[in-house]
Amino acid sequence: MTSLLSVAPAALPPRGAPPAARQSRFRGGRWVAWAALGALLLITLLPFGVMLRAAFEHPQALYQSQAVLVPQQATLLNFQRVLGLLSPEQNLQLGGSGAEVNLLAATLHSLLFTVLVVVLQITSCAMAAYAFARLRFPGRQTLFALFVGSMMLPGVVLFIPNFIFIRDLGWLNSLAGMVAPFALMSGFSVFFLRQFFLSLPRELEEAALLDGATHFMIFRRVVLPLSSAPLATLAILVGIGAWNEFFWPFVVAPGEDMQVLPTALQAFRAQTPQGQFDWTGLMAAATLAVIPTLLLLVAAGRKVVESVQFSGSK
């Protein structure tokens, strides 16, 4: 992925008002643009509305109306069902499939998985990136090229040997097995941080060296504190990837004990017999699974948007 080599850690363009000059030039264009934007926003939001309607709909009312957005018989029963607050008999009576989904456990596992991947991967990759950016040692160039080249390896090549390795370690259905391949190394993370470290002015580090600090001390005490913004950007990108990762947990933790949210939702759906989905239950579970992402957007929306935009900028 050589195009990434040209990524410069330049800041995103300054935020400001849209340029007035261009606005006045394209009068008719503005109406077209508003219509297009409105339509695409509607298409983006509509499925969420449809999801919410089923989540809040009484199971029996689902089959009796052609409503799209408004529940005909609003209820919280579906949420109670998927959170395991009702007895199995009540559940079946309400049209549940008898399938179980432990959403709270899955959310907890997802959180643990994401935090571990983010913290371990970024710690390990930041050290390597600093060494690649600042220290001179034999093998540096080759090693860096290999690391970056590893981004070209698709997961579909690695999953069989990695699965066998994790199985041989006895780590199937464990958090360790899920985290391990992501924990130490990511070509993207190393590359991303090295680019940033290269852009830091050397003066501070040189001053610290003259004061007798070791390279590792400089990395910890000088460089890392200066890097909180790019570290946060990377944490968000890695975190989104880990939170949404389905393939590897699906391969290595197929059991019920260590489900993360994506695999738990998939298992919940797979348990429903063909032809009669427990739609209200599934959509209630989906609604609950959206909440953490919404919280992230509310808490750090600007940083999330900027981080994602940054991942493709050159």
Rule CB under 8 A: which of 23-62 touch other proteins? Answer: 23, 25-26, 29-30, 33-34, 36-37, 40-41, 43-48, 50-51, 53-54, 62
3 state SS of 185: coil
Which member of 89, 136, 142, 211 binds other proteins (CB under 8 A)? 136
CB of 16 to other proteins, least distance (A): 8
> Between 124 and 174, whose beta carbon lies closer to other proteins?
124
Of 244, 254, 247, 249, nearest to 180 by C-alpha is 249
> Between 36 and 204, whose beta carbon lies closer to other proteins?
36
Q: Which of residues 208-237 bind other proteins (CB under 8 A)?
A: 214-216, 219
CA gap 10, 296 in Å, rounded: 25
Q: Which amino acid is at 100?
A: E
Work out whether 20 is an interface residue with other proteins (CB under 8 A): no
Which member of 76, 160, 207, 295 binds other proteins (CB under 8 A)? 160
Work out whether 15 is an interface residue with other proteins (CB under 8 A): yes
3 state SS of 1: coil
Do residues 190 and 129 touch, judged by C-beta distance below 8 A? yes
> Between 89 and 225, whose beta carbon lies closer to other proteins?
225
For the record, the structure tokens of 169 come out as: 């370690």
3 state SS of 227: coil
For the record, the structure tokens of 299 come out as: 């808490």
Do residues 159 and 170 touch, judged by C-beta distance below 8 A? no
Q: Which of residues 255-314 bind other proteins (CB under 8 A)?
A: 261-263, 265-266, 269, 277, 279, 282-283, 286, 289-290, 293, 296-297, 301-302, 304-305, 308-314
